[in-house]
Structure 1
């Protein structure tokens, strides 16, 4: 990068990157889990799964909100030398870095169905739903503040997420920068 520029990835795109794979792995795992009788029976497994879905979605959606808010409030304007990473590249890099966790989500959901049918799958799906809700919350915040939040790709690789301990600051741009809508979804043209 010339003159101290950094590669930057959108915060809400990074948060949303794992939502779809976890959602579909969880739903498919729950569907397979319903076919297995399990130790507790289908009804108890589905009720426990519904409770786990709600708890996981709420827990993931509400986790680290204070840290996101503090980092967003202290965000500095992105420089001219900074490179804004494309949405597809950000999603591909995140999924590639977490591929083993994403691949293990489905078998873990199916194996857990031997004890509680569909509960593990609904837990995984709730995690995906929570990530999507968090990305939507970040998108609403960005729209209200009329600026997009970016995190350094270097910090992202070592931080454990866009609000990890290694992330010390966000960069900000105008709302029209980047190719993703606020919330991390594809921008409609």
Structure 2
């Protein structure tokens, strides 16, 4: 890396990185959980799971919005020596940093099926949906300011930390065409923003 440059990861990609594994682990855990009658029975388990799903979506989506907006408003322009991390690298770092938490959450969701069928899995799936919606909200924020938001990699814990956590002092901004991820953290397809 050139002198004075920093490794930068896309904020929306870091947020979005957990959405897919949480969704699929939740779906599998809920599906397997339906095979177990549980203490409460399947009907109550699914109703409790639906409530947990909605609450978890809100809990994943709504917190720290003001902090994200404040960091975005104060974003400094990225320097010419800054290195923009590829989307795939950011996603891989997040998933590696959280693999044991994901495994524990999946096992806990499966274990909870013996008490409340499907509820634990639906909670995990709700977290995935909430993170996906938060990434989409960040995408709208990026489109509105016509700039992509980046966070220094060294401010993320081993590349897997929270992009609006206490260690994050500010964001960097680039033009909307920088990097290999569209606003909101999705892959760019055929050079067109999606």
| TM-score of Structure 1 vs Structure 2, range by shorter chain | over 0.9
Instruction: Determine whether 1:93 maps to 2:93.
Output: yes
Question: Which portions of structure 1, spanning 4 or more consecutive aligned residues, are displaced by more than 2 angstroms?
Answer: none
Unaligned runs of 5+ in 1: none
- Worse overlay, 96-105 or 20-29: 96-105
Tell me which residue corresponds to 2:72. Answer: 72
Alignment partners' CA distance in 2, 1:157 and 1:37? 40
Q: How many residues align?
A: 189
Tell me which residue corresponds to 2:38. Answer: 38
- Worse overlay, 156-165 or 97-106: 156-165
TM-score (norm 2): 0.95
Unaligned runs of 5+ in 2: none
The answer to whether the 8 Å contact 1:17/1:94 transfers is yes
Tell me which residue corresponds to 1:164. Answer: 165
Q: Which structure's residues are more often helix, by fraction?
A: 1
Tell me which residue corresponds to 2:50. Answer: 50
Q: Deviation at 1:106?
A: 1.8
Alpha-carbon RMSD across the aligned residues, in angstroms, is 1.0
TM-score (norm 1): 0.98
The Cα offsets for residues 114-156 of structure 1, whole Å up to 9 and x where unpaired, read as 1110000000000010000000000011011100000000001
1:120-131 equivalences under 5 Å are 120-131=120-131
Alignment partners' CA distance in 2, 1:78 and 1:160? 20
Alignment partners' CA distance in 2, 1:160 and 1:82? 20
Specify the SS of the correspondent of 1:151: strand
